[in-house]
Amino acid sequence: MYFKLLLLLLLLLLLLLLLFNILINRFNIYLACSYHILCFCLQMGWGDLGVFGEPSKETPNLDLMAAQGMLFPNFYTANPLCSPSRAALLTGRLPVRNGFYTTNAHARNAYTPQEIVGGISPDEILLPELLKKKDYVSKIIGKWHLGHRSQYLPLKHGFDEWFGSPNCHFGPYNNSVRPNIPVYNNSEMTGRYYEEFEINVKTGESNLTQIYLKEGLDFISQQATAQRPFFLYWAPDATHSPVYASERFLGKSQRGRYGDAVMELDDSIGQILAHLVSLGIHNNTLVFFTSDNGAAVMSGAHQSGSNGPFLCGKETTFEGGMREPAIAWWPGRIPAGTVSYQLASVMDLFSTSLSVTGVLPPDDRVIDGLDLSPVLFNNSLLDRPIFYYRGNQMMAVRIGQYKVHYWTWSNSWEEYNTGINFCPGQEVPGVTTHTQEEHTMQPLIFHLGQDPGERYPISVQSEEYRDVHRQVTAVVEQHQKDLIPGIPQLNILCDFSVTAKLSLFCAMNALEDCLGSQ
């Protein structure tokens, strides 16, 4: 009897010690993670980095970042367009939940050009708002793209500082064609793209990435000196067509102007990491690099990147449109040189950031992002599906190595017949369709481990097909049962004060786009 009691007490003591160790480790993570940096580049493809197989070896800093951190080959955006993916990143929620979508036929207006007056819902809680609970100072540098009216801008949604543009630079523009895009320093407009912040459309020369880099380095220095925890959201747009690079990088790559822009971004990220080391705060800083959607292959070889072995690109829910390059870096915390095959999403960065700072996520809404802490620190694998959405339509789902397409669509015949092709040189009959084709009764199923290019659907007669279909159907039914779509924030009337300033041709096109999203 005495022996059993002693054994029970020893087991209880061991359990308490284990629990104490777990709590101490978690506390140390919270204590150590004083700084967050998210490098969110624009439409860089999975195949643009040397560490993912790009042969030119022109991304040495990102390759080194991967060697010192963790590489994610199975990392996804939440939408193949830039604005919805940014909304998903900062809310941890699918765009269909947070309302950043339209209900027009092809969801082509699921972004915020100057004519659209919608933006991020005031009911959404963004990451920097939550980080304020731990006294974080937050700054966004670069592209916002979640609404350009005053109520949607970053300083109204938790950011303390902002240097950048409410929209992408798009182009080429001039005043006779379209209002130039403003650049803000906090709430004050300091200039416009193509004017004070000049982009030479002919040569592709612009020093804007260098300005963004200096803003970032200065912010890091200021907060580190003041010993204030910070969140830096560094979102350059140099790789969006028309791509640009500063004079020092123009003509230096083997991949045209796009390659020059990638080289400069790689150099900038290298300088950011080196700056953290020089300040002695690298062991307290979690840095994550990824992209908002796949490479825009429709823009041509010198204006777009590489999606590696994957099908199609931006604006499609094939792998080339939604699988992104991703690297996590935190010296002393994330084991160096590791590769995680976790199915991960840009929404996970929201939940992970909250976890490592000890902030609880909101409990009054569904959060789609997972906490990747077990993956980052222990290289664990978490069971989860990846949903591929366009607008409010679930197009496909991935579970494990299998991807199931319920709908397919690349781009319309109207666009295709004018030379715009979202899958150049990659047409797959019955897969890269030019009308939105339904396959809900007999979905297309691919084994991505054996067929990453989504070219050879598994036979519907096979046992493998039936097993996968059965498994995925249960997951999809549960997802749809739990899904309450948010009110679409981009089905909102056009800003006629903007369209009135355009040329007649451009105004008609802009109004057609706007009214098509009603």
Q: Are 42 and 258 in contact (CB under 8 A)?
A: no
| Domain harbouring 169, CATH code | 3.40.720.10
Task: Clarify whether 82 is annotated catalytic.
Answer: yes
| Domain harbouring 421, CATH code | 3.30.1120.10
Rounded Cα–Cα distance for residues 366 and 138 (Å): 24
The answer to whether the pTM exceeds 0.85 is: yes
Asked which of 337, 367, 384 is the last residue of a domain, the reply is 384
pLDDT, residue 61, reads 98
Are residues 160 and 205 part of one domain?
yes
Q: Are 137 and 232 in contact (CB under 8 A)?
A: no
Rounded Cα–Cα distance for residues 309 and 150 (Å): 42
Are residues 195 and 58 part of one domain?
yes
Task: Clarify whether 439 is annotated catalytic.
Answer: no
Q: Are 313 and 298 in contact (CB under 8 A)?
A: yes
Q: Is residue 179 part of a domain?
A: yes
Are residues 173 and 261 part of one domain?
yes
Task: Report which of 149, 93, 140 is spatially closest to residue 119, judged by C-alpha positions.
Answer: 149
Phi, psi of 97, rounded to the nearest 5 degrees = -85, -45
Q: What is the pLDDT of residues 362-394, one digit of tens each?
A: 999 999 999 999 999 999 999 999 999 998 999
CA atoms within 13 A of residue 102's CA, in its CB half-sphere? 25
Are residues 414 and 378 part of one domain?
no
Q: Is residue 7 part of a domain?
A: no
Cis bond upstream, residue 362 (ω within 30): no
Catalytic member of 33, 41, 82, 168: 82
AA identity, residue 274 = A
Tokens of 299: 């823009």
In Å, how far from its chain's centre is CA 331?
Answer: 23
Are residues 361 and 404 part of one domain?
no
Phi, psi of 491, rounded to the nearest 5 degrees = -90, 55
pLDDT, residue 118, reads 85
Q: Are 265 and 255 in contact (CB under 8 A)?
A: no
Tokens of 486: 């948010």
Q: Is residue 9 part of a domain?
A: no
Catalytic member of 36, 106, 145, 169: 145
Q: Are 362 and 104 in contact (CB under 8 A)?
A: no
- Contacts made by residues 377-382, CB under 8 angstroms, sequence distance 24+: 377/29, 377/333, 377/334, 379/70, 379/335, 379/338, 379/340, 381/340, 381/341, 381/342, 382/342
Rounded Cα–Cα distance for residues 97 and 76 (Å): 17
Rounded Cα–Cα distance for residues 370 and 419 (Å): 40
Are residues 414 and 282 part of one domain?
no
> How many Å from the N-terminal Cα to the C-terminal Cα in the chain?
77
How are beta strands 323-324 and 75-76 bridged, if at all?
antiparallel
Q: Is residue 23 part of a domain?
A: no
Length of the chain: 518
Are residues 407 and 340 part of one domain?
no
Q: At a CB cut-off of 8 Å and minimum separation 6, what does 55 contact?
A: none
How are beta strands 188-192 and 182-185 bridged, if at all?
antiparallel
Q: Is residue 272 part of a domain?
A: yes
How many Cβ atoms from other residues are within 10 Å of residue 165's Cβ? 24
β-bridge partners, 402: 399, 447
Are residues 276 and 217 part of one domain?
yes
Q: Are 74 and 52 in contact (CB under 8 A)?
A: no
Q: How many helices (H) and strands (E) does the chain have?
A: 14, 19
Q: Which parts of the chain have pLDDT scores under 70?
A: 1-33, 104-116, 171-180, 492-518
Are residues 299 and 439 part of one domain?
no
Asked which of 354, 384, 414 is the last residue of a domain, the reply is 384
Asked which of 365, 384, 403 is the last residue of a domain, the reply is 384
Q: Are 373 and 355 in contact (CB under 8 A)?
A: yes
Q: Is residue 16 part of a domain?
A: no
Q: Are 327 and 69 in contact (CB under 8 A)?
A: yes
Count: domains in the chain: 2
* Residue span of the structural domain in which 236 resides: 31-384
For every residue of 301-353, DSSP letters joined together read: TTTS---TTSS--TTSSSHHHHEE--EEE-TTTSPTTEE----EETTHHHHHH
Rounded Cα–Cα distance for residues 317 and 409 (Å): 8
Q: Is residue 366 part of a domain?
A: yes
pLDDT, residue 23, reads 44
Rounded Cα–Cα distance for residues 395 and 407 (Å): 5
Are residues 354 and 326 part of one domain?
yes
Q: Is residue 11 part of a domain?
A: no
Are residues 293 and 148 part of one domain?
yes
pLDDT, residue 31, reads 44
Are residues 371 and 404 part of one domain?
no
Distances (CA, A) of 457 to 362, 430, 444: 40, 10, 6
